[in-house]
Amino acid sequence: MLRHGERETWTTDEFGPFHTGAVGVLLDDGTVPRPVYFDASSGGGGQAVSQWTVYNGRPRQGPRAAALRAVCSCGWNGPEQRLDWEEIGDQDLQTAGAGAADICMRDWDEHTVDVERSAVPLPEAVTALLAQLEVEVEKLAKSSPLAAIRAARRLEVLAAQTAYWPARDARRDADFGQAAAALGLDEPGARAVLARLGHWSPYS
């Protein structure tokens, strides 16, 4: 999770929370604004929000955003998308800034593609088998959902069986920095994955 208030975020199936993306905000001085705190109407607390749309400079909203950019929980930042407030005028920022926000999402998509490319490559035969297996299970789900669930359960068992010794060998032969680069994760994430698959404590 990104270290900010509530906002819309994006993840991929493979990298999950280790590459959580969002639209980030920059002010005129190049700094990242604090989350905006909104009091609850009932008086029972409130909520910190850092969704880009609240940074419009209006009363009881956040300071005015000078630019948007894609950000990722791994520390990567995308290029700035400047906001022209003379053109925006009194328009709602969610509408006026939608184009810049869409560019940010595409930038983050390209970032995750780069992460995938930098990870250890899989042999074409394995990639093809995995793709075919996905297709066959999806076909099975249309005719027999319970059979598809059993197939998925068999895949879980197979994954646990086949990953046990590789996870232990990787722990012995590579440091967590190397494992993180190979898996497209950060070091704590790589440690957690290897520990889960190798059945050892991530704190050991």
Domain limits of the chain?
16-118, 124-198
Confidence (pLDDT) at 5:
73
Confidence (pLDDT) at 38:
83
- What string of DSSP letters covers 55-109? -S--TTSPPPPSEEEEEETTS-B---EE--HHHHTTS-HHHHTHHHHHHHHHHHH
Band of residue 2 on the pLDDT scale cut at 50, 70, 90? very low
Tell which wins on pLDDT, 166 or 40.
166
Q: What is the pLDDT of residues 73-85, one digit of tens each?
A: 999 999 999 999 9
Confidence (pLDDT) at 21:
96
- What residues contact 119, with CB distance under 8 A and at least 6 apart? 181, 182, 183, 184
